[in-house]
Structure 1
Amino acid sequence: MTTAEPTTDGSYRNKIVAVEPGGNEFIAEADRHGKPSQLFWTWTSPNLEFATIFVGVLAVAVYGMSFWQAVTGIVIGTGLGALAHYFLSARGPLHGVPQMVLGRLPFGFKGNGLPAVLMSVTAGVGWFATNSVSGAYALAALFGIGPLVGLIVIVLVQTGFAFFGHNLVQAFERWSFPVLAVIFAVASVAILTKSNFGAPALEPFVGDGSMGGFLLTVGTAFGYAAGWTPYAADYTRYLPSTVSTARTGFFASAGLFLSCVVLETVGAASVTIGPALSENPTEAFVGELASPIAKATLLAIAIGAIAANSINVYSGAMAFVTIGVKLPAHIARALVTVFFGVAGFLVAWWALPDAAASYEAFLLIIAYWIGPWLGVVFADQYLRRGQAIAGFLYDRSYTNWPGLASFAIGLVVSVLLFSNQEKFVGFIARGAPQLGDITFFVGFLIAGGVYLVACKSKISAERLAV
């Protein structure tokens, strides 16, 4: 059985100051607009923020990498995440639905609830809180206010953008791009000219400072970049169905890759100048900058946090709606956005006292579930190549339990064997700490491999039945 897709009615189109109606419906051609090149700033602006910089800080200050070891790990990890983002973004214009709706193919309608919940919590609460903390600290340092006051300001602004929806979020990314690009370019040049690229590696807090630290760097950079992949099609589904999929994927992945690599490299370089960790990490980062540049950079960090979290809370709400919770159709996504804004604020408030430790663990844990999720999604995409899929996406009776099982097997086995966290070290990681934390790679391979074996015959039968 297949079900017709619910569609938008053509009333939203390119309106900016209007609440996006509905939730996760198929985007009708009458509502399609834009071009692939806009995706460059859509995915550059949200990464021009302090959370990106701190990935590089962690590589040197916590994992014990030299500057050049850190840069190599950053490029590899970010490149892998950007490659995944390329392929998932390219599907948006073709199918016109959010990323988590496409997830109903490999997991089934009900089975997709698990990754959708993980994504909504990761994006709408986890990332929301992480970025809100950096923005709050930036405002606190800039205006001499308490971090809690800064947090309230940041949360209100970014939740407001996400409440209105897709078009306003996209517009804000476009408006903030030149401001963020110029300020961070000036700050980056100032920091790089003062850096000591040949400085010896520091004593690592995590890992063994060699291969283990390097793999932790790759994993952290991958976790940051791949953390955007469950949102990919959310921001390409409004493009006309006739646009080039190659250009769509290219501009989305290029914005992600360049912004992450540049700022993470600057973060790694900043550690070679002076102390990297303090009660206010954003203040420590700008400590070596001249006062006008430092103030402008703090302002940019706050704007960048808003740019990132407008996307996070919007897509987190989109994923939650995709679970199948029945809400008033015309305001479903907007209502859930407010809920995640409140939840994210509470978590951010809790994380304020120890932002650095919370962030490092969060990045790796994101990669734990995204690795096997990507493995299943790409395996399904490979098996379904050329297949018509529209009739399955909104069919509540459609099941694919082997897909959920593949995801669970990849996640559980990889964590039990290779996790390297303070609260739990996997069985293999205990005996071989030089591996660092490769949970995400192992999870990807196991989940994808199991899915190819378990679902090949099922998908072949569906292809014949359609």
Structure 2
Amino acid sequence: MAIGAPLNSPDATDAPQGGYGDKVLAVEPGGNEAIPVDARHGTPRGLFWTWTAPNLEFATIFVGVISILYFGLSFWQAVAAMAIGNLLGAAAHFLLSAEGPLHGVPQMVLGRLAFGYRGNILPATFMAVMCGVGWFATNSVSGAFALSTLFGITPLLGLVVIVVAQTAFAFFGHNLVQRFERIAAPVLAVIFVVGAVIIFGKSHVSTPSADGGFSIGGFLLTMGAAFGYTAGWTPYAADYTRYLPPTVSKVKTGLFASSGLFLSCTFLMVVGAASVTIGDPVSDNPTEAFTANLPSLVADLTLLAIAVGAVAANAINVYSGSMAFLAMGFRLPVGLQRALVTVFFGVVGFLVAWWALADAAASYEAFLLLVAYWIGPWLGVVFADRLLRREPPTLALLYDTRYANWGGVAAFVLGLVASVLLFCNQERFVGYVVRAVPELGDIGAFVGFALAFGLYLILARGRVAQSQRTPS
């Protein structure tokens, strides 16, 4: 089959970017088209702030909290597990971020190489629902609790304030989101560093684990949760590097993006773990329990930072969720495709967050691992495709509705299903292997990656070679 001009698809080179450039207070036009070279702007160093700010929030802290409170590790065991999980997630983010300037398209559009135009609807749906809506709801809840504690309002009112703010940033689009992250990151960092100094001064990091020894199951659960959090950003990676000029350094692009991600995640996760060693929680409200360890002024500033951090995270979540939705092939008015979908995700995310207010802690623990289950095999397929593909793809291939790669879909589905059935460790379902060997904890994401990677090399090798031989 010849790969010619896309059928029933927008011209990949006809993105409506005229006049947008580097304007901040302007609604980003269009949807998931390629960014023309003359509309590119920015430098790689700005990515450090882009990926620092959204992780300076309570959802990051809570990964450290559950590592000790729920998974039974000691402080230093938790630190090691979280650092490994974060490093693996940041390494994946490095590789995917570095590709953005070369292609100029969103991450989920690049995913069509490994899954085909129609097959890519499956992972794009996972991302749109679990990341664009799920993460949106999760972070909104923490921000709502922070505002509730700070101002004495109901969590629902706090939720409304948070959702309106973050949806507004995402509605305007790429440039305003990037600028907000750059301004928010240093301010949030200073506040959390001050809080961290106080928490470490009160903590008892030498306290042994719950059972007095080392739990490999708890270690792997923590590593998987940390990986799920950090790697949860990887399906967004190219969304925030595609506006960079194609001549920028790939190494610098990947390094600034991944270092901001790794440092912010590891820092706040460690702070969260340290906070648990101070004593038993004083409240069922997780943000109130955390800030109860701080002096009143610092506690108030930290609560405000938690709310702002939730907005920083969700401006990215809802923006990229809308990009994934458009990558599924939906057609909306050309000039406002992404902006309209952003509003839709804001409404849906609000409803899900409202439902989750009742039991935030349990919902978050399960959600972290659920994200990791699909991210693992998705990364396996994407990286296997990059290994096999010797030449950069043409834009025509990325937007060709006729291009199929069902080997990628099969590898993803088989890797996902097998890893969950065998190695899942959730309250409502425990995988068959984990039932027999409980000390495995939860390695579903890593098994899913390995299975999908190997299966893709077997099932899709011929299809990748064919797509590169066919002229575009």
Q: TM-score range, shorter-chain basis?
A: over 0.9
In structure 1, the partner of 2:166 is 158
Aligned counterpart for 2:429 among listed residues 416, 424, 448:
424
In structure 1, the partner of 2:381 is 376
In structure 1, the partner of 2:8 is none
In structure 2, the partner of 1:243 is 248
2:366 matched to 1:350? no
Which SS does the other structure have where 1:202 is aligned? coil
- Kindly state the Cα deviation for residue 77 of structure 1 after the two structures are TM-superposed: 0.2
2:61 matched to 1:53? yes
In structure 2, the partner of 1:181 is 189
Equivalent residues of 2:13, 2:36 under 8 A apart: no
In the alignment, the residues of structure 2 paired with residue 309 and residue 161 of structure 1 have an alpha-carbon distance, to the nearest angstrom, of: 9
In the alignment, the residues of structure 2 paired with residue 49 and residue 370 of structure 1 have an alpha-carbon distance, to the nearest angstrom, of: 22
Aligned counterpart for 1:33 among listed residues 34, 41, 50:
41
In the alignment, the residues of structure 1 paired with residue 115 and residue 245 of structure 2 have an alpha-carbon distance, to the nearest angstrom, of: 27
Unaligned runs of 5+ in 1: none
- Kindly state the Cα deviation for residue 293 of structure 1 after the two structures are TM-superposed: 0.5
User: What amino acid is the match of 1:7?
Assistant: D
Aligned counterpart for 2:449 among listed residues 444, 447, 455:
444
In the alignment, the residues of structure 2 paired with residue 196 and residue 279 of structure 1 have an alpha-carbon distance, to the nearest angstrom, of: 22
Aligned counterpart for 2:413 among listed residues 404, 408, 417:
408
- Kindly state the Cα deviation for residue 175 of structure 1 after the two structures are TM-superposed: 1.1
- TM-score when normalising by structure 2: 0.96
The verdict on how the C-alpha distance between 1:214 and 1:123 changes in structure 2, with shifts beyond 3 A counting, is same
2:14 matched to 1:7? yes
In the alignment, the residues of structure 1 paired with residue 419 and residue 339 of structure 2 have an alpha-carbon distance, to the nearest angstrom, of: 36
- Kindly state the Cα deviation for residue 203 of structure 1 after the two structures are TM-superposed: 5.8
In the alignment, the residues of structure 1 paired with residue 390 and residue 60 of structure 2 have an alpha-carbon distance, to the nearest angstrom, of: 35
Which SS does the other structure have where 1:279 is aligned? coil
Unaligned runs of 5+ in 2: 6-10
In the alignment, the residues of structure 2 paired with residue 125 and residue 388 of structure 1 have an alpha-carbon distance, to the nearest angstrom, of: 30
In the alignment, the residues of structure 1 paired with residue 454 and residue 76 of structure 2 have an alpha-carbon distance, to the nearest angstrom, of: 34
- Kindly state the Cα deviation for residue 457 of structure 1 after the two structures are TM-superposed: 1.7
- Kindly state the Cα deviation for residue 185 of structure 1 after the two structures are TM-superposed: 0.8
In structure 1, the partner of 2:225 is 220
Which SS does the other structure have where 1:450 is aligned? helix
In the alignment, the residues of structure 2 paired with residue 32 and residue 387 of structure 1 have an alpha-carbon distance, to the nearest angstrom, of: 19
Equivalent residues of 2:82, 2:269 under 8 A apart: yes
In structure 1, the partner of 2:26 is 18
2:276 matched to 1:271? yes
- Kindly state the Cα deviation for residue 20 of structure 1 after the two structures are TM-superposed: 0.5
Size of the alignment, in residue pairs? 463
The verdict on how the C-alpha distance between 1:301 and 1:111 changes in structure 2, with shifts beyond 3 A counting, is same
Which SS does the other structure have where 1:261 is aligned? helix
In structure 1, the partner of 2:96 is 88
In structure 2, the partner of 1:65 is 73
Question: How well do the aligned residues superpose, as a CA RMSD in angstroms?
Answer: 1.3
User: What amino acid is the match of 1:6?
Assistant: T
Which SS does the other structure have where 1:331 is aligned? helix
In structure 2, the partner of 1:253 is 258
Q: Taking every aligned residue pair, what percent have the same amino acid on both sides?
A: 64
- Kindly state the Cα deviation for residue 461 of structure 1 after the two structures are TM-superposed: 2.3
User: What amino acid is the match of 1:26?
Assistant: A
The verdict on how the C-alpha distance between 1:311 and 1:277 changes in structure 2, with shifts beyond 3 A counting, is farther
- Kindly state the Cα deviation for residue 430 of structure 1 after the two structures are TM-superposed: 0.5
